[in-house]
Amino acid sequence: MAPASSSASTVYRARRVLAIKPFRRLWGVTFLCSTADWLTLLGLTGYVTKLTETYMAQNFAFTGVVLTLLLPGLIFAPLGGLLADRFDRRKVMAIADLTRCALLLSIAIVGSPLWLFAANFMVGFASTMWIPAKDSAVPNLLRRRDQVETANQLGLVMTYGFAVVAGAGSYALITVLPQLLSLPEGATGEFGIAKFVVICTGLLYLLSALIIATRIPELSLRNVHETSETSEAPETPEAGKLSEAGADGGTTAQPAAQQAGFVEMIKDGFRYVRSTKLVRGLLVGMVGAFAAGGAVVGSSKPYSASLLAGDSAFGMMFVCVFAGLASGMAAAPRLAHRLPHDRLFGIAIIFAGLALVAVALAPHLVVALSAVTLVGACAGVAFLTGVTIIGTQVEDAIRGRINAIYQSLMKIILGGSIAVVPLLIGLVRPRSISVFGNQVVIDGTRPVLLGGGVLAALVGVVAYRLMDSRRAEPIMVDLRNALRRRPRRANGLLIAIEGTTAADTAAQAAKLALWLRRHVTQPIALATDPALDDKRLTSILTNASLTGARARALAAAAVRADIVERDVRPALDSGGIVVMERFADSSLAHLSAVAGLDTEELEGLADWATDRLRPDVTLLLDADPGTDGRISSQDHWRIKGLLTEMAAAAPDRYLVVDADGTPDDVGQRVLRVIEPALARKGIRRVEVAEGPAEEQAEAGQKEDVS
* Residues in a beta bridge with 420: none
CA 384 to chain centre: 6
**Residue 702 confidence (pLDDT):** 40
Q: What CATH homologous superfamily does 9-224 map to?
A: MFS general substrate transporter like domains (1.20.1250.20)
**Residue 189 confidence (pLDDT):** 61
Domain with CATH 1.20.1250.20 in the chain: 9-224, 262-489
Question: Mean of the pLDDT values across residues 540-546?
Answer: 57
For 585-630, how does the pLDDT look when each residue is reduced to its tens digit (9 = 90+)?
767 776 666 666 777 777 777 777 777 787 888 888 877 665 544 5
Over 90: is that where the pLDDT of 509 sits?
A: no
**Residue 437 confidence (pLDDT):** 63
| Neighbouring residues of 256: CB distance < 8 A, sequence distance ≥ 6 | 238, 241, 242, 243
- Mean pLDDT lowest among 40-44, 121-125, 631-635, 637-641: 631-635
> Which has the closest alpha carbon to 332: 477, 453, 460, 152?
152
Q: How far apart are CA 127 and CA 408, in angstroms?
A: 12
639, 594 Cβ separation under 8 angstroms: yes
Higher-pLDDT residue of 669 and 211 is 211
Q: What CATH homologous superfamily does 262-489 map to?
A: MFS general substrate transporter like domains (1.20.1250.20)
Binning pLDDT at 50, 70 and 90, where does residue 100 land?
very high
Percent of the chain exceeding pLDDT 70 equals 70
Over 90: is that where the pLDDT of 102 sits?
A: yes
Question: 125-139, 160-174, 278-292: which has the highest mean pLDDT?
Answer: 125-139
Binning pLDDT at 50, 70 and 90, where does residue 517 land?
confident
Range 646-653 contact pairs with CB under 8 angstroms and sequence separation of 24 or more: 646/585, 646/589, 647/618, 647/620, 650/618, 653/614, 653/615, 653/616, 653/617, 653/618
**3-class state of residue 209 by DSSP:** helix
Over 60: is that where the pLDDT of 244 sits?
A: no
- Mean pLDDT lowest among 339-343, 392-396, 476-480, 521-525: 476-480
Q: How far apart are CA 311 and CA 262, in angstroms?
A: 50
Over 80: is that where the pLDDT of 135 sits?
A: yes
> Which has the closest alpha carbon to 388: 3, 114, 125?
3
Over 90: is that where the pLDDT of 25 sits?
A: yes
Largest Cα span, the chain = 104
- Mean pLDDT lowest among 243-247, 355-359, 679-683: 243-247
Measured CA to CA in angstroms, residue 318 lies from 312, 314, 372 at distances of 10, 7, 9
**Residue 92 confidence (pLDDT):** 94
Mean pLDDT of the residues in the chain: 74
For 150-160, how does the pLDDT look when each residue is reduced to its tens digit (9 = 90+)?
888 788 778 87
Binning pLDDT at 50, 70 and 90, where does residue 267 land?
confident
For 203-239, how does the pLDDT look when each residue is reduced to its tens digit (9 = 90+)?
999 999 999 999 999 999 887 765 433 334 333 333 3
Binning pLDDT at 50, 70 and 90, where does residue 441 land?
low
Which CATH architecture describes the domain 492-699? 3-Layer(aba) Sandwich (3.40)
Domain with CATH 3.40.50.300 in the chain: 492-699
pTM beyond 0.75: the answer is no
**Residue 632 confidence (pLDDT):** 55
Question: In the Cβ-directed half-sphere of 182, how many Cα atoms lie within 13 Å?
Answer: 0
Number of Cβ within a 10 Å radius of residue 575: 17
